[in-house]
Amino acid sequence: MDSIIDYRLPDSYAICLLGHGSREQEGIQEFLILLKKLRKTKFCSITEYGFLGYSRPTIPEALSACQQDGIKNIIIMPSILLPGEHTKKDIPNAIGKVFQNRPDINIFYAEPLGTQAEIMKVCKDRIWEAENSSQKTISHSETLFITVAHGSHDINSNSQVEKNFHLLGQKLSFGKTIVHFAGLSQKPLEEKLEEFLEPQFRRIILFPFFLFTGTWVKRVHTLANIFQVKHPDTEFIRPTCLKDHELIVKTLIQQARTSISNK
């Protein structure tokens, strides 16, 4: 077994896996599958979960479940890709309210998953899965690779996303690579996609850089279907989001271990 996953936390630790929450039940089920896989590693004997909004348990309810006999350390593990308001403000504020009178509990904050090598490998796997499901053989040089991400108000984070996806596009020899931050754009995704279309591309990959299915993932997939009808001579491929890939589990564990060593 991988040495990272083979590691076990002492019994004085608990993990609180936090998700954004969603009105889409499909996304909640994907989160729960990831939780199940994390628990299956037995990395931590107590692994609870909660959501920022839309769903239950809430963050206070999740933290309450973590406070069992003998627990002195709680690792806050966000199942979130990029840093932003949620990880820098919303989560710490919610946790601060719960533990403001509990100096006996040590809180560790794991970093978001980001675009490190393991996460980019997951993206590559999702792209390959989608390509392999196609009945057509089209070269990567004739493929336009578009990544749709929400985007963050953290400019450095956005720059890193763009850099790493352009590097991925180069490694896979795509004809052209574009990164679109749908949550920050002044134009609707539909208008931007019309601008991106170029006649030399026989295939367009619309990749949703999101962890779980939600509003944006469904928009991307719906848009791919609409444009397939409008442009029948071009193949539109729609990979799934990252979900419960084994490298997501591995990276969550690594981020948790790093949070302990950094404190």
What is the spatial distance between Cα 112 and Cα 114, in angstroms, rounded to a whole number? Answer: 6
For residue range 39-97, what is the model confidence (pLDDT) as tens digits? 999 999 999 999 998 889 999 999 999 999 999 999 999 999 998 888 889 999 999 99
Could you tell me if 18 and 54 are in contact, meaning their C-beta atoms sit under 8 angstroms apart?
no
pLDDT value at residue 86? 85
**Percentage, residues of the chain above pLDDT 90:** 77
pLDDT value at residue 2? 58
pLDDT score of 17 more than 80: yes
Radius of gyration of the chain (CA): 20
> What average pLDDT does this structure show over 32-44?
97
Tell whether the torsion through CA atoms of 48, 78, 109 and 166 is positive or negative: positive
DSSP structural state of residue 19: E
Residue 204, Cα to own-chain centre: how many angstroms?
A: 22
Task: Output the DSSP codes for 150-189.
Answer: ---S-HHHHHHHHHHHHHHHHHTT-SEEEEEETTT-SS-H
Q: How confident is the model at residue 5 (pLDDT cuts 50, 70, 90)?
A: low
pLDDT value at residue 155? 86
> What average pLDDT does this structure show over 216-236?
94
Q: How confident is the model at residue 1 (pLDDT cuts 50, 70, 90)?
A: very low
pLDDT value at residue 23? 85
> What average pLDDT does this structure show over 164-178?
97
Domains and CATH numbers, the chain: 3-113+244-262 (3.40.50.1400), 117-237 (3.40.50.1400)
pLDDT value at residue 248? 98
For residue range 119-156, what is the model confidence (pLDDT) as tens digits? 999 999 999 999 999 999 999 999 999 999 988 888 89
For residue range 192-201, what is the model confidence (pLDDT) as tens digits? 888 888 889 9
